Structure 1
Amino acid sequence: MESPGGAMNTVMKTVMRTANKVGVGVYRVSGGKVGGKGSGGVPVLLLTVPGRKTGKPHTTPVGYFEHEGGYLVVGSAGGMPQDPQWFRNLRAAGRAEVQRGRATEAVTVRELTGDERDAAWRDVVLVRCPPFGKYELKTSRTMPLALLTPTRG
């Protein structure tokens, strides 16, 4: 028998999956006019990355910051204890596709670490969207950052 907490977790996962599908669909139909801005005015892209276990592509709306010719994304998960699934998939894949507005492009993925990660967190993420600092305070994990760089040609 499933515990009440386990049942609630299953219900929340179903709700989140459904909301994600609706959000992705609305973004695509509107070319990002609806769903193209997140909290704090952070622009949103659609990130499609193969699952690390199945290889099946998954698409998720993700806030980003333009940085060094690419798109800096934060695996904040709202300050939850573990990295979000999409970031774990991204880390494993090393490649993805992004859609900004109606334009799509392939990207390579590089997770930022050490001093480079800390500088990007401090100088880009927190400067452009200070509320991300609240997520950091809610968890003991370090918020992972990845730079998605468009592949040319």
Structure 2
Amino acid sequence: MSDQSTAAYEADAPDINNWNARVIAEVRANAGYAAWSSEADFAAGRPVPPRIPGLYDGHPGMPLILVHHTGAKSGRARISPLFYLPVGDNWAVFATHGGSPRHPAWYRNLMSNPQITVETGTETVPAVARLTEGAERERIWAEEVALVPKFAEFETAAGRQIPVVVLERADANEVRA
């Protein structure tokens, strides 16, 4: 994608700060669940994963985690609501950026500063972000694509392999080290 096309893609995206604030508030109010997109987001064409049978258990919206991380360039505290796949007691997240050729900012931040905090349901836990590779990445990616086939379309549209990051629970001392 050319710089001009990338600029057009980003210009058409809804205001990410307003979207984040709305979703973060919903996740906190609904113990880890939020509507991924509002009617305005749908109208603006924001990519939306479909509802996944069995993940909602009567909750409003989809299960999300809030990942607290540090900006790679700014050093500022950030919070990103992310769709995830449980991996044991940990979480896998996917840097699809809705099919953009560029990685999302949260991914770059996690790779620069892997010590994070995850809000999941009503629990807040320290964690460490780790990029998966090889067979582990392929196994987790295949499981995610089976649940959300749209992610395979995002990878094709992006023209890049979508990074799969595992957020591993850590004790508080390990994260501060």
Q: TM-score, normalised by structure 2?
A: 0.72
**How many pairs align?**
149
5+ residue gaps in structure 2?
38-48, 53-61, 173-177
1:144 counterpart residue number: 163
What is the CA-CA distance between 1:128 and the residue it aligns to?
2.4
User: What is the alpha-carbon root mean square deviation over aligned residues?
Assistant: 2.7
**1:107/1:148 contact within 8 Å kept:** yes
Identity of aligned residues (%): 23
Matched, 1:126 2:145: yes
- Mapped to 1, the partners of 2:6 and 2:139 lie a distance apart of 39
Structure 1 SS opposite 2:15: helix
13-22 or 61-70: bigger deviation: 13-22
**1:51/1:57 contact within 8 Å kept:** yes
Matched, 1:57 2:58: no
Structure 2 SS opposite 1:91: helix
**1:43/1:65 contact within 8 Å kept:** no
**1:35/1:44 contact within 8 Å kept:** no
Matched, 1:78 2:98: yes
- Mapped to 1, the partners of 2:90 and 2:112 lie a distance apart of 19
Q: Which 4+ stretches in 1 moved above 6 angstroms?
A: 5-10
1:40 counterpart residue number: 51
Q: TM-score, normalised by structure 1?
A: 0.82
- Mapped to 1, the partners of 2:83 and 2:163 lie a distance apart of 13
CA, structure 1 residues 56+127, in 2 after alignment: closer, same or farther (shift >3 Å)? Answer: same
- Mapped to 2, the partners of 1:7 and 1:147 lie a distance apart of 30
CA, structure 1 residues 93+6, in 2 after alignment: closer, same or farther (shift >3 Å)? Answer: closer
- Mapped to 2, the partners of 1:8 and 1:115 lie a distance apart of 36
